Every structure is written in structure tokens, then in C-alpha cells.
């Protein structure tokens, strides 16, 4: 069972979602605007947010970006828009899943369960270490040489996913599926995030330390090789 925030301005849809989710055993709160949603999330802890895009005060896509600035709570987009480009953009901006209206409450419940399995499955305390890099998956904090890294949500997810598989070449398709939670997309999405991540790790694609790209295959993370000692004089 989960605590759910429903962000939906259509009173009929909102009432139906509240009723059915409550009957399924979830604890449900609801609001009709983006600003109310931001206030609720800042003040109350939720397991998942169901976010409509057609809100009266602020487009849901902008609300999603603002939510991601204050919380990592899973967000399921509920939208009447079925444009593939926009769906990809929303997933890249931090949405965990999406549903195109109209949808059944059973469908929403199944998607919620899948999202919660993924997020709760990563909540066990675990510190991943690769060389001088450490990633605390519960606190969602990463350090390099003891210095805290300022990572975006997606950068952290990408780094943690690779760090859990040190030395293993992860195919790009698997990164899209497991990190971006989408079965389609282009390599540019991964390349851009890798570039940002490399910059924060103090390396470049031409001179990698931790992140290594195998052209046409995938990406791996491994500890830098120890430097050879200087010859004695």
C-alpha cells in the first residue's frame, strides 16, 4: 500500500481516482493545481505522485521539473497527450512512467506497483565503491576523493547503475531501459549525460578515468589504473 498524491484539476476524474485508489488500500491526498502539488510534496512525504499535465496554473511538464528540484518521489504522468517526442522529453525530465488518458484505475494501480517495486527495491542501504568513488544509494550521495559530487537525479541514477556493475560493459539499450525507464530513444541522451557526469568526475571522453565508452557496444565504469612510480634518480 502507498501514500499517493493525485494532481488533477478535473473534479470528476479526481474523485474517481481517489475513490478507487482508497478502495485499493492506498492513502490518497489530492490537489487541483501545480502550486498546491509543490506545497504538498514539500510538506508531506508521498510514495508516488500521479501528475496531470493540463493544470490551470502551470503546465504539468513545468511542474515536473520543479518537483524534481525538491524531491525524488516517483512521478507517474497522466496525460491526454500521446505525442512520442513529448513522452520521451517527460521521461528525460524525470518522470518515472506515464499513462495516456483514458486509462483504467486497474492499469494505474499496476503501473504504480511496478514503479514502487523499482524504487523500494533500491532503498536498502548500500554504499558502492569504485576506486576513490563512493555512492550511497540510500542517501543518494556520491563522493570522489572524499568530496561530495553535485549530481542531478539522472546523473546519480546513471552513475549508481554503472557502479553496481564495475568492469561490466553495459549496452546502451539496457541503460535506456533501466536508467531512463524507456524502451526507445537515441544515443544522444546517454552521451549528453555521460559528458556532464565526466565533467564532474574530472575527466573527458578523450582522457577517461572512471567512465569508458566502447564504441558500438556500451559503457563501463572501473577504477583508474594505479600510476606507475616515478623512476628513481
Do 51 and 75 meet the contact criterion of CB atoms below 8 Å apart? yes
Q: What pLDDT shows up at residue 118? A: 74
Per the prediction, the chain carries an average pLDDT of 85
pLDDT in tens, 110-154: 888 888 877 765 555 578 999 999 998 877 889 999 999 998 888
Looking at residue 102, the DSSP 8-state letter turns out to be: S
CATH number of this structure's domain 3-121, picked from the four choices 2.40.160.20, 3.40.50.2300, 3.40.50.150, 3.40.50.620: 3.40.50.2300
Higher pLDDT, 134 or 70: 134
Can you give the residue ranges of every domain in the chain? Answer: 3-121, 127-221
Q: d(Cα 93, Cα 153) in Å, to the nearest integer? A: 10
At residue 57, the pLDDT reads 92
Which of the four pLDDT bands, split at 50, 70 and 90, describes residue 34?
Answer: very high
% of the chain surpassing 90 pLDDT: 36
Q: Across residues 97-102, what is the average pLDDT?
A: 87
Strands (E), the chain: 3-7, 27-31, 48-52, 75-79, 97-100, 127-130, 133-136, 141-144, 147-148, 170-171, 211-214, 218-221
What residues contact 225, with CB distance under 8 A and at least 6 apart?
none
Q: Which residue has the cell 501545480?
A: 34
User: Residue 47's pLDDT is what?
Assistant: 87
The more confidently predicted of residues 8 and 119 is 8
**How far apart (Å, rounded) are the C-alpha atoms in residues 69 and 207?**
31
The residues, ordered by sequence, that sit 6+ positions from 97 with a Cβ below 8 Å of its Cβ are: 74, 76, 77, 111, 114, 115, 181
Mean pLDDT of 174-184: 75
So what's the pLDDT on residue 184? Answer: 61
Q: Bigger pLDDT: 197 or 43?
A: 197
pLDDT digits (tens, 9 = 90+) for 211-230: 999 988 899 999 987 654 44
The more confidently predicted of residues 76 and 137 is 76
The region that residue 187 occupies, defined by phi over 0 for left and psi between -120 and 50 for alpha, beta otherwise, is alpha
Its CATH class, for the domain covering 127-221, is: mainly alpha
Q: Is the separation of the CB atoms in 110 and 194 below 8 Å?
A: no
Q: Which three cell numbers stand for residue 35?
A: 502550486
Is the model's pLDDT at 183 over the cut of 70?
no
Amino acid at each position: 500500500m502507498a501514500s499517493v498524491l493525485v494532481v488533477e484539476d478535473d473534479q470528476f476524474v479526481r474523485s474517481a481516482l481517489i475513490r478507487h485508489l482508497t478502495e485499493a488500500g492506498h492513502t490518497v491526498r489530492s490537489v487541483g493545481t501545480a502550486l498546491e502539488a509543490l506545497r504538498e510534496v514539500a510538506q508531506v512525504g508521498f510514495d508516488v505522485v500521479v501528475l496531470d499535465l493540463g493544470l490551470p496554473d502551470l503546465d504539468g511538464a513545468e511542474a515536473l521539473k520543479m518537483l524534481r528540484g525538491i524531491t525524488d518521489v516517483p512521478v507517474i504522468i497522466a496525460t491526454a497527450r500521446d505525442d512520442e517526442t513529448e513522452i520521451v522529453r517527460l521521461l528525460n525530465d524525470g518522470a518515472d512512467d506515464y499513462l495516456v488518458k483514458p486509462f483504467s484505475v486497474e492499469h494505474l494501480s499496476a503501473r504504480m506497483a511496478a514503479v514502487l517495486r523499482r524504487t523500494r527495491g533500491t532503498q536498502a542501504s548500500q554504499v558502492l565503491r569504485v576506486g576513490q568513488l563512493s555512492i550511497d544509494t540510500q542517501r543518494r550521495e556520491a563522493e570522489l576523493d572524499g568530496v561530495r559530487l553535485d549530481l542531478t537525479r539522472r546523473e546519480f541514477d546513471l552513475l549508481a547503475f554503472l557502479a553496481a556493475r564495475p568492469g561490466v560493459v553495459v549496452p546502451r539499450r539496457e541503460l535506456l531501459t533501466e536508467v531512463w525507464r524507456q524502451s526507445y530513444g537515441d544515443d544522444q541522451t546517454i552521451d549528453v549525460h555521460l559528458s556532464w557526469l565526466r565533467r564532474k568526475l574530472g575527466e573527458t571522453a578523450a582522457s577517461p578515468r572512471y567512465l569508458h565508452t566502447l564504441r558500438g557496444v556500451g559503457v563501463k565504469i572501473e577504477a583508474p589504473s594505479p600510476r606507475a612510480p616515478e623512476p628513481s634518480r
